[in-house]
Homo-oligomer: A and B are copies of this chain.
Amino acid sequence: MVGTIEQKLASLGITLHTPRSPVANYVPFVRTGNLLTVSGQVCYAPDGTLIAKGKLGAGLTLEQGAAAARGCAINLLAQLKVATGDLDRVMRVVRLGGFINSAPDFLDGPKVMNGASDLMVDVFGDKGRHARTTVGVASLPSDAAVEVDGMFEII
């Protein structure tokens, strides 16, 4: 039996790959009560390359940034799948934190972050509507264009 959310993912043409493990002394997610806190996911594609590399406002387009944010969200889903076994156990996307690798004069972080937010609502419907904070940061690991972390309510 494939759950409702995973059928939705399939209909969107999204395959969740087994996420890589962190290479340091931290873990991809921690559950406490019904809250699942997921580590910051940078915009890696399944093949290990970055979907977009560098800074918004210094070479990357909004479209590239939004695609990167969407990729971060897919990586969050892959972690959620490992954490829950079944994405139907996700009751709510509580919060996304969006960190946009930004030149000092780049002001459109929210448009970039919409790539992540839209995916969550496409996948989870109203349960995907989340609180969100978007900021432009000076640098990100591996020069990734976007990093997104998340908090989820699960059963």
Interface residues of A in 89-141 (CB under 8 A from B): 92-97, 99-100, 102-110, 113-114, 117-118, 120-121, 128-141
Number of copies: 3
Pick from A24, A94, A135 the residue with the most CB of B within 10 Å.
A135
Contact of A28 among B26, B105, B131 (CB under 8 A): B131
* B27–A133 CB distance below 8 A: no
Interface residues of A in 56-107 (CB under 8 A from B): 57, 92-97, 99-100, 102-107
Task: Determine whether A10 belongs to the interface, using a CB cutoff of 8 Å to chain B.
Answer: no
* A133–B40 CB distance below 8 A: yes
Q: How far is the CA of A40 from the CA of B113 in the complex (A)?
A: 13
Sort chain A's interface into a size bin: 35 or more
Pick from A30, A33, A35 the residue with the most CB of B within 10 Å.
A30
Given A104-B55, A138-B102: A132 touches B35 (CB 8 Å cut-off): no
Contact of A131 among B37, B114, B147 (CB under 8 A): B37
Task: Determine whether A6 belongs to the interface, using a CB cutoff of 8 Å to chain B.
Answer: no
* A141–B134 CB distance below 8 A: yes
Contact of A104 among B33, B114, B128, B139 (CB under 8 A): B139
11 pairs, A vs B, C-beta closer than 8 Å: A24-B114, A30-B93, A33-B33, A37-B131, A55-B104, A99-B133, A99-B135, A107-B139, A131-B149, A133-B149, A138-B138
